[in-house]
Amino acid sequence: MPDIDWDAPWLASWRTVGEPIACQVAAGTPQPEALNASGRAPVRFVPQADLPEGQAYEDFIFATGQVPTREGLHDFFNALCWMHFPQAKKRLNQLQAREIARAGVGQVRGPVRDAATVFDENALLIQTSDAVWSALTEHRWMHAFLDLRGEWVLTCLWAFGHAALEKTVQPFKSITVHLWRVPQGVAQADLDAWLAQDLTPEKLARKPFSPLPLLGVPGWWPANEDPAFYADASVFRPQRSQRLAEKPYANSEILPPA
């Protein structure tokens, strides 16, 4: 297992549980065994080989309460998420299993399964002011990160997506997560229960996500102290409608008049 920087701000709430398990795995303990030893998850982690051929991963978890787990960071962070958000992870699994039972696996997941997968792999929970939220969702990056920089001290962020966390082990500027907003009244102690209730098929199908270049969060990356960090439009991209307005023929075969 590659070295994990447990001092990274996005891992602040995961370190107490995750670091000792990572040390066991680095010392040679099989990953499922090290994860189960913590006793913190509502499921058991089993080797990937325990997943029967032809059975869907989510369906197997729902039927057995066991999570097929490969060695490596991706499934390591997935397991840590089961420990930190057991109710929300169980809810996502229920939704996935329900959709599989209804429509089968198929080549196309459908809107609910697709959104549940995006959430599971890439979500970051955010609790912030209306001003910051509006600026982020409208991709007014300079306003969100520079003009409103002082409001980030009062903004709470919680990592969830395990694929995103895997990427952060070797950080790069364009890592982008999918924000899911948490109302101001939700206390951290109630976060998992609130999230499990908030993850409804109807809401997921609407895909109420908003992209966030992770290293743009004030205080999370030294380079973003320089305002020029946010001028990189390949990372801090304008909204699609704005891009099309600037390039009205970008998605058309019709050429502008000579």
Q: Are residue 115 and residue 125 in the same domain, yes or no?
A: no
Q: Are residue 99 and residue 199 in the same domain, yes or no?
A: no
Q: Are residue 137 and residue 89 in the same domain, yes or no?
A: no
Asked if the structure places residue 255 within a domain, the reply is: no
Q: Are residue 99 and residue 185 in the same domain, yes or no?
A: no
Q: Are residue 170 and residue 218 in the same domain, yes or no?
A: yes
Q: Which of 166, 155, 109 is nearest to 131 (CA)?
A: 155
With left for phi above 0 and alpha for psi between -120 and 50, is residue 172 left, alpha or beta?
Answer: beta
> Model-level pTM?
0.91
For all residues of the chain together, what is the average pLDDT? Answer: 92
Task: Count CA atoms within 13 Å of residue 254 on its CB side.
Answer: 5
Tell me which of 89, 119, 149 is where a domain ends.
Answer: 119
Q: Which of 162, 78, 90 is nearest to 123 (CA)?
A: 162
> Residue 240: which pLDDT band, with cuts at 50, 70 and 90?
confident
pLDDT reading at 246 higher than 80: no
pLDDT reading at 110 higher than 50: yes
Q: Are residue 110 and residue 137 in the same domain, yes or no?
A: no
Asked if the structure places residue 164 within a domain, the reply is: yes
Check residue 254 and give its pLDDT: 36
Asked if the structure places residue 87 within a domain, the reply is: yes
pLDDT reading at 258 higher than 90: no
Three-class SS string for the chain?
A: CCCCCCCCHHHCCCHHHHHHHHHHHHCCCCHHHHHHHCCCCCCEEEEHHHCCCCCCHHHHHHHHCEEEECCCHHHHHHHHHHHHCHHHHHHHHHHHHHHHHHHCCCCCCCHHHHHHHHHHHHEEEEECCHHHHHHHHCCCHHHHHHHCHHHHHHCEEEECCHHHHHHHCCCCCCCEEEEEECCCCCCHHHHHHHHHHHCCHHHHHHCCCEEEEHHHCCCCCHHHHCHHHHHCCCCCCCCHHHHHHHCCCCCCCCCCCC
Asked if the structure places residue 182 within a domain, the reply is: yes
pLDDT reading at 114 higher than 90: yes
Structural domains counted in the chain: 2
d(C-alpha 169, C-alpha 159), whole Å:
13
Asked if the structure places residue 166 within a domain, the reply is: yes
What is the mean pLDDT of the segment spanning 222-245?
Answer: 88
Tell me which of 85, 119, 153 is where a domain ends.
Answer: 119
pLDDT digits (tens, 9 = 90+) for 118-148: 999 999 999 999 999 999 999 999 999 999 9
Check residue 255 and give its pLDDT: 38
pLDDT digits (tens, 9 = 90+) for 62-73: 999 999 999 999
Asked if the structure places residue 253 within a domain, the reply is: no
Domain with 85, as residue range(s), is: 9-119
Check residue 252 and give its pLDDT: 36
Q: Are residue 157 and residue 80 in the same domain, yes or no?
A: no
pLDDT digits (tens, 9 = 90+) for 70-109: 999 999 999 999 999 999 999 999 999 999 998 776 666 7
Q: Are residue 108 and residue 168 in the same domain, yes or no?
A: no
What is the mean pLDDT of the segment spanning 34-43?
Answer: 97
Which residues neighbour 135 within 8 Å (Cβ) at sequence distance 6 or greater? 141, 143, 144, 147, 148
Asked if the structure places residue 142 within a domain, the reply is: yes
Q: Are residue 101 and residue 138 in the same domain, yes or no?
A: no
Asked if the structure places residue 2 within a domain, the reply is: no
Check residue 200 and give its pLDDT: 98
d(C-alpha 235, C-alpha 174), whole Å:
5
Q: Which of 151, 159, 118, 149 is nearest to 230 (CA)?
A: 149
Q: Are residue 125 and residue 235 in the same domain, yes or no?
A: yes
pLDDT digits (tens, 9 = 90+) for 177-209: 999 999 999 999 999 999 999 999 999 999 999
> Residue 249: which pLDDT band, with cuts at 50, 70 and 90?
very low
Q: Are residue 100 and residue 184 in the same domain, yes or no?
A: no
Tell me which of 119, 150, 182 is where a domain ends.
Answer: 119
**Per-residue buried b or exposed e for 191-222, using 16+ beta carbons within 10 Å of the residue's own CB:** bbebbbebbeeeebeeeebbbbbbbbbbebbe
Q: Are residue 125 and residue 109 in the same domain, yes or no?
A: no
- Looking at the chain, the whole-number percentage of residues with pLDDT higher than 90 is 88
pLDDT reading at 53 higher than 80: yes
Check residue 238 and give its pLDDT: 96
